[in-house]
Structure 1
Amino acid sequence: MNQNYLDSVTIKYSLWGYKSKTFKKSKIELNDFQFSTLEIGEETLPEIKVKNNPISKKGDTINYSVKSFVKNQDQVIADIIKRLPGIEITEGGVIKYQGKQINKYYIEGMNLLDDKYALANNNIPANSVDQIQILENHQPIKALDSFTISNQAGINIKLNNNAKNKIIGRGKIGIGGFPFMYENELVPMQFGSNHQTIVSYKNNNTGLNNEKELDLLNSNNVSNFIKGNIFKNPILSIPSPNIPLTSNQRFLFNNLHTLSINNLRKINADSELKFNLDFIKNLKYQNSGTNIINFFPSDTIRINENQLTTKNEFLIRGSLNYISNTKKRYYFNRLNFQANIDKDEASIILKDKTDQTFFSKHFSVSNEGMFLKTNSNNLKGVSYFISYSRMPQQLEIKPGKYNNLFNNNIPYNSLNQKVALKTLFSNFTITNAKKISVFSIENNFGISFTTQSYQTELLKEELNNLTIIHDSLNNNLTGKEINIYNYFKINFNEKKLKISLSIPANYLVQHNNSQKGQSINRLFFNYDMTMQHIMNSNFSITLRFNSNDMYLPVYLSTERYILTDYRTLQNRNSIISNLKQRKITLSANYKEVRKMLFINSSIAIENNVDNILFNQNFAGSLVIRNAFYNLNPNKSIAFSTNISKYIHSINGSFALGLILQKKSSIQMISNKQDEFNVKTVGINSKILTNIKSHSIEYTSQYQILYSGLKNNLFNKTQIFNQTAVIHLNFLTNMPVKLIFEHSHLNQQTQANRNFLFGDIAIRKKAVLRKMDLELSLQNIFNVKEFETVSFSANTITNNFFILRPTQILMKAQFTF
Structure 2
Amino acid sequence: MIFLKPAGLLFTLFLLCPGAGVLAQQQTIQGSLKTADGKPVPHASVTVRNPQDRIVAFKTSDASGNFSIVLPAEAPLDSLRLLVNHLGYAGVNLPILRERSRYDITLEEKPIDLSEVNVKSRPRIDTRGDTLRYDVGSFAKAEDRSIGDVLKRMPGMEVSESGQIKYNGQNISNLYIDGDDLLDDKYAIGTKTIPHAMVQKLEVLQNHQPLKVLKNKALSDRVALNLVIKDEARLKLTGQVKAGAGLPHQYDSELNSILFNKKYKMLNVAKGNNVGEDLASDFTAFGLSDMLTGAGNSRPQALLSSGTAGSPPLPKQRYYFNNSGSLNLNNLVNLKNGLQLKANINGLLDGNDMAYNSWSELYLGNDTIRYSEWQDIGRDPFLTGVSLTAMANEEEHYFSNVFKLNYSGDRGSSALLSNDMDMRQGLHNRLCDFSNTLEYTPALKNGNVINLYWYVNHFNQPQTLIITPGINEEVLNAGMPLAGIRQFGETPTWFSRASAAYRLTKGLIRQRYRTGVINEWQRLHSALRLTQTDGRETPYARSDDNNLHWQRHQFFVDGTYEYKQGPWEATATLPLAVLRIAYHDDAFALDESKSRLLFNPSMRLKRMTTREDYLSLDYRYTNQMGNINGVFRGAVLTNYRSIEANDAGLQERDSHNIGLRYHFQRAISMLFMNAGVTYTRSTANTIAASVVTDNIARTVLLPINNDVSSVNLNAGVSRFIFALGATASLSASWSTSRFNQLLNGETLPFNNRSLTVNPAFEVRLFDKISFNYNGTGTWTTSRLVLEEASAHVPDRQIRRFDQSIGLSYSPLKRTFLRVNGRHQYTSQAQLNDISYFFADANIRYTLAKWRTDIELNLTNLADITSYETYSLSANRLGYSHYQLRGRMAVLKCVFNL
TM-score of the superposition, structure 1-length normalised?
0.92
2:695 corresponds, among 603, 606, 621, to: 621
Give the match for residue 580 of structure 2. 509
Give the match for residue 761 of structure 1. 842
Distance (whole Å) between structure 1 residues aligned to residue 647 and residue 324 of structure 2: 42
Residue 441 of structure 2 is aligned to residue 360 of structure 1? no
Query: Which residue identity is paired with 1:197?
Result: M
Which structure 1 segments of 5+ residues have no match? 1-43
Deviations 1:714-739 (A, max 9, x none): 10111000000111111122211101
Residue 776 of structure 2 is aligned to residue 701 of structure 1? yes
TM superposition shift of 1:71: 1.2
Residue 255 of structure 2 is aligned to residue 186 of structure 1? yes
Which structure 2 segments of 5+ residues have no match? 1-77, 84-92, 94-120
Instruction: Name whichever of 583-592 and 701-710 sits farther off.
Output: 701-710
1:88 corresponds, among 153, 158, 181, to: 158
TM superposition shift of 1:574: 5.4
Distance (whole Å) between structure 2 residues aligned to residue 193 and residue 226 of structure 1: 32
TM superposition shift of 1:670: 1.2
What aligned pairs does 1:125-524 form with structure 2 within 5 A after superposition? 125-178=195-248, 180-221=249-290, 226-227=296-297, 229=299, 233-268=301-336, 270-350=338-418, 351-375=420-444, 376-462=446-532, 463-470=534-541, 472-514=543-585, 515-524=589-598
Deviations 1:73-125 (A, max 9, x none): 11111001111111111222111111111111100111111111111111001
Instruction: Name whichever of 550-559 and 78-87 sits farther off.
Output: 550-559
Aligned length: 770
Relative distance call for 1:224 and 1:799 in structure 2 (3 A) is farther
TM superposition shift of 1:471: 6.1
Give the match for residue 71 of structure 1. 141
Give the match for residue 777 of structure 1. 858
Distance (whole Å) between structure 2 residues aligned to residue 45 and residue 553 of structure 1: 73
Distance (whole Å) between structure 1 residues aligned to residue 79 and residue 358 of structure 2: 72
Distance (whole Å) between structure 1 residues aligned to residue 215 and residue 602 of structure 2: 20
Distance (whole Å) between structure 2 residues aligned to residue 205 and residue 579 of structure 1: 46
2:655 corresponds, among 574, 581, 584, to: 581
TM superposition shift of 1:291: 2.0
SS of residue matched to 1:122 = helix
Deviations 1:475-522 (A, max 9, x none): 111121111111211011224111010111111111111323222111
Relative distance call for 1:52 and 1:674 in structure 2 (3 A) is same
Distance (whole Å) between structure 2 residues aligned to residue 254 and residue 365 of structure 1: 29
Give the match for residue 601 of structure 1. 675
Query: Which residue identity is paired with 1:112?
Result: L
TM superposition shift of 1:631: 1.4
Distance (whole Å) between structure 1 residues aligned to residue 449 and residue 221 of structure 2: 21
Contact 1:395 1:416 in 2 (8 A): yes
Distance (whole Å) between structure 1 residues aligned to residue 660 and residue 620 of structure 2: 12
2:127 corresponds, among 33, 57, 66, to: 57
Relative distance call for 1:478 and 1:575 in structure 2 (3 A) is same
Query: Which residue identity is paired with 1:304?
Result: S
Distance (whole Å) between structure 1 residues aligned to residue 861 and residue 574 of structure 2: 59
Give the match for residue 175 of structure 2. 105
Give the match for residue 608 of structure 2. 534
Relative distance call for 1:224 and 1:361 in structure 2 (3 A) is farther
TM superposition shift of 1:776: 1.8
Deviations 1:269-308 (A, max 9, x none): 6420111111011111111122212122222222121111
Relative distance call for 1:557 and 1:649 in structure 2 (3 A) is same
Give the match for residue 626 of structure 2. 552
Instruction: Name whichever of 262-271 and 151-160 sits farther off.
Output: 262-271
Distance (whole Å) between structure 2 residues aligned to residue 751 and residue 655 of structure 1: 32
Relative distance call for 1:225 and 1:398 in structure 2 (3 A) is farther
Deviations 1:521-547 (A, max 9, x none): 111101111111001112210100001
SS of residue matched to 1:62 = strand
Deviations 1:53-81 (A, max 9, x none): 51111111101111111012111110011
TM superposition shift of 1:173: 0.6
Contact 1:228 1:424 in 2 (8 A): no
Query: Which residue identity is paired with 1:783?
Result: I
Give the match for residue 649 of structure 1. 723
Distance (whole Å) between structure 2 residues aligned to residue 256 and residue 494 of structure 1: 55
Distance (whole Å) between structure 2 residues aligned to residue 277 and residue 702 of structure 1: 39
TM superposition shift of 1:616: 0.9
Contact 1:485 1:505 in 2 (8 A): yes
Query: Which residue identity is paired with 1:500?
Result: T
Deviations 1:597-616 (A, max 9, x none): 00000000011222211111
SS of residue matched to 1:716 = strand
Relative distance call for 1:727 and 1:52 in structure 2 (3 A) is closer
SS of residue matched to 1:120 = helix
TM superposition shift of 1:47: 5.0
Computing the radius of gyration over CA atoms, which structure comes out larger, 1 or 2? 1
Distance (whole Å) between structure 2 residues aligned to residue 335 and residue 45 of structure 1: 62
TM superposition shift of 1:691: 0.8
Contact 1:541 1:588 in 2 (8 A): yes
Distance (whole Å) between structure 2 residues aligned to residue 735 and residue 45 of structure 1: 30
TM superposition shift of 1:740: 0.5
2:802 corresponds, among 721, 724, 728, to: 721
Query: Which residue identity is paired with 2:772?
Result: E
SS of residue matched to 2:704 = strand
Residue 665 of structure 2 is aligned to residue 591 of structure 1? yes
Distance (whole Å) between structure 2 residues aligned to residue 573 and residue 689 of structure 1: 60
Distance (whole Å) between structure 2 residues aligned to residue 208 and residue 117 of structure 1: 17
Distance (whole Å) between structure 2 residues aligned to residue 228 and residue 708 of structure 1: 33
Query: Which residue identity is paired with 1:221?
Result: D
Distance (whole Å) between structure 2 residues aligned to residue 575 and residue 315 of structure 1: 37
SS of residue matched to 2:208 = coil
What aligned pairs does 1:720-759 form with structure 2 within 5 A after superposition? 720-759=801-840
Give the match for residue 4 of structure 1. none
Relative distance call for 1:290 and 1:615 in structure 2 (3 A) is same
SS of residue matched to 1:405 = helix
Residue 634 of structure 2 is aligned to residue 634 of structure 1? no
Distance (whole Å) between structure 2 residues aligned to residue 327 and residue 495 of structure 1: 25
| RMSD (Å) for aligned C-alpha atoms | 1.8
Distance (whole Å) between structure 2 residues aligned to residue 70 and residue 676 of structure 1: 48
Query: Which residue identity is paired with 1:136?
Result: Q
SS of residue matched to 2:702 = strand
Contact 2:758 2:775 in 1 (8 A): yes
Contact 1:367 1:385 in 2 (8 A): yes
SS of residue matched to 2:216 = coil
Contact 1:228 1:388 in 2 (8 A): no
Give the match for residue 681 of structure 1. 755
TM superposition shift of 1:798: 2.4
Relative distance call for 1:519 and 1:792 in structure 2 (3 A) is farther
